[in-house]
A and B are shown apart, each in its own frame.
Chain A
């Protein structure tokens, strides 16, 4: 391929002129037509020379133009693995589709590409949003069991009511232990009273009447009957029929206040 040379100047010949039916013209009419042609040919006698800056300017303008086939430009860039060129091709679609200077087929092609990109972007965003929402929901669901935020479920197993709470270790057989209780360990009673966390210690008198009745002898001999520390050593309080004294140490203040 070599640069083309200027086309030779053509002089109108008579055989180029025919009438509507394709027949040769009458000599007079042919002469008039050749005169008109000579006027036009006289215009082209002094053609200007091409200035080199014209080519440079045109190339500069054309270099800023997007590719004439928008989708093909993207395909070619992807085939050549030119990511920047591919992004530029996609970016040029907007200007091509919205510019009236481009041919309609090219604009339609660019608009179709834009629609495709928009659909892909919307789909990707939608999938991302769904995935993100799923992650957040899973994080929220996994969190509460591990967190100590909900202690309200704990007090459920502590419904002890009444004065039974005060004595955690009632003696199953006060009569048998009476000598020990009276003889050695009255001093442990403060410890016992301190253990239930205040709410129940100051009132030894609140011992159930049944227990008080069960230790008539002890009360007579020394300190108040609940001070029977040996009762803690008793392995089976169930035998006495007391309702699980070992669970009583956790009374909730709320229940007491409510009562």
Chain B
């Protein structure tokens, strides 16, 4: 992130035995505004991306990421330093975004119409030359919304693992660290979550 203010080198030198995340958190807890700015600039992109993958709406995703940052800041004193700070933030953001996804109402779908003009539709009217394929885009968006809704309906145990693995791009070992569970348990939850998701999506297609 450009313009990020790095933590002062002397501070790092004084605490060489600690991880950079711990140094960063300690500086923020001491009221260092530069450290807080550094953290926000470093993690905002990942948080917005994660929330967007869950919500599918950029405005909602930005609001969810900001809410997650506020929640994380308030609870920063309770961070135990197990696992990465980014993973901890991602877990908070995933919860916030999932809660918002459950509150979102059903999206009103646009009728695709037909390309020959017999059934005029805003989609085809927007691209009269037919260079793009708005119908395909609309169908893809519908499918994505369906998958997101299915993920949001998963049981908490499975959903958290699935979201952290696929939307936050965390490896399973890091997820196990963040959740405080054995790696085998995390694998099992992922397995069951994917099975449940697949069954639900297949059920919806029928």
Residues in chain A within 8 A of chain B (CB atoms):
1-4, 6-10, 12, 16-20, 22, 25, 29, 32-33, 35-37, 39-44, 47-48, 50-51, 54-55, 57-59, 61-63, 65, 67-69, 72-73, 76-77, 85, 101-103, 105-106
Contact = CB atoms under 8 A, between A and B. Distances in A.
Interface stretch (B24-32, B98-106, B111-119, B121-129): B24-32
B173 to A, nearest CB: 10
Contact of B195 (A12, A32, A47, A77): A32
B43 A4 contact: yes
B49 interface: yes
B166 A103 contact: no
Contact of B28 (A2, A18, A36, A68): A68
Contacts of A3: 1, 4, 38, 41-42
Given A4-B86, A106-B77, 17 more contacts: A4-B43, A17-B187, A17-B194, A33-B194, A33-B195, A36-B198, A39-B147, A40-B147, A40-B162, A47-B49, A47-B53, A54-B62, A54-B65, A59-B36, A61-B70, A62-B73, A68-B74
A68 B76 contact: yes
B78 A48 contact: no
Nearest to B196: A36
Contact of A68 (B20, B29, B46, B62): B29
Given A36-B201, A39-B147, A6 B46 contact: yes
A206 B78 CA distance: 106
A247 B88 CA distance: 103
Interface string B4-38: 10110000100000001001100011110100111
Contacts of A9: 169
Nearest to B54: A43
Contacts, number: 163
Interface of B: 1, 4, 6-7, 12, 20, 23-24, 28-31, 33, 36-38, 40-46, 48-49, 52-53, 56, 58, 61-62, 65-66, 69-71, 73-78, 86, 144, 147-148, 151, 162, 165-167, 169-172, 184, 187-188, 190-191, 194-195, 197-198, 201
B66 A57 contact: yes
A58 B30 contact: no
B204 to A, nearest CB: 12
A14 to B, nearest CB: 11
A218 to B, nearest CB: 108
9 contacts: A1-B7, A1-B38, A3-B38, A17-B187, A32-B195, A58-B44, A67-B31, A72-B77, A103-B75
A48 B70 CA distance: 22
Contact of B70 (A2, A22, A62): A62
